[in-house]
Amino acid sequence: MPTSARNVLALVALLCLGAVAAALVSQYAFDMQPCAWCVLQRLIYLGIALLCGLALLGGRALQAASAAASAALAACGMAAAWYQYTVAARMFSCDQTFADRFMSGLGLDAAAPWLFGIYATCMDAAVKVLGVEYALWSLGLFAAIALLALAALFRRRWPRSPC
């Protein structure tokens, strides 16, 4: 059975929702409190999931537009995760960084503090899971999402592998 762009976009949406769910489990079950860059990445994941969900309701043009926008947002997510890993994790405070100003400016930290509350400094939020920093896991997932979104954009149907 051929794989359609619609199926790939549904997979991307599920991966994004899974990433946010994993972040919430990490926060509430394992007390890994998020910094401003963490919650910015949550917002990007949710934005991609929303775009992909909308693509499932429309035709090819909406799927193509959603795939392109999802790839662009995934690139933004990669940049945020890389910045968190290389710069922000070495700072004593994320206060007044782009992520902090952006999230506070949107008011999401006050409107939904259970999801977008900023409760840690970037240095405190630099934790490892299975020996790899959380930000690098996010970077890898954003890269995979970008590749999947681009694949959905440029190919409508792929033959299934015989293996």
Does residue 161 belong to any structural domain of this protein? no
Q: What is the pLDDT of residue 158?
A: 45
How many CB atoms are located within 10 Å of the residue 32 CB? 18
* 3-4 and 128-129 strand pairing: unpaired
Higher pLDDT residue, 26 or 119?
Answer: 26
pTM: 0.88
Beta bridge partners of 129: 132
Higher pLDDT residue, 95 or 8?
Answer: 8
Q: How confident is the model at residue 40 (pLDDT cuts 50, 70, 90)?
A: very high
* 3-4 and 157-158 strand pairing: antiparallel
Does residue 162 belong to any structural domain of this protein? no
Structural domain for 144, as ranges:
3-152
Q: Average pLDDT, whole number, for the chain? A: 86
Does residue 121 belong to any structural domain of this protein? yes
Determine the Cα–Cα distance for residues 66 and 54; give it in Å rounded to an integer. Answer: 8
Q: How confident is the model at residue 60 (pLDDT cuts 50, 70, 90)?
A: confident
Q: Output the domain CATH number for residue 42.
A: 1.20.1550
Determine the Cα–Cα distance for residues 117 and 108; give it in Å rounded to an integer. Answer: 8
Does residue 61 belong to any structural domain of this protein? yes
How many distinct structural domains can be found in the chain? 1
Does residue 159 belong to any structural domain of this protein? no
Does residue 22 belong to any structural domain of this protein? yes
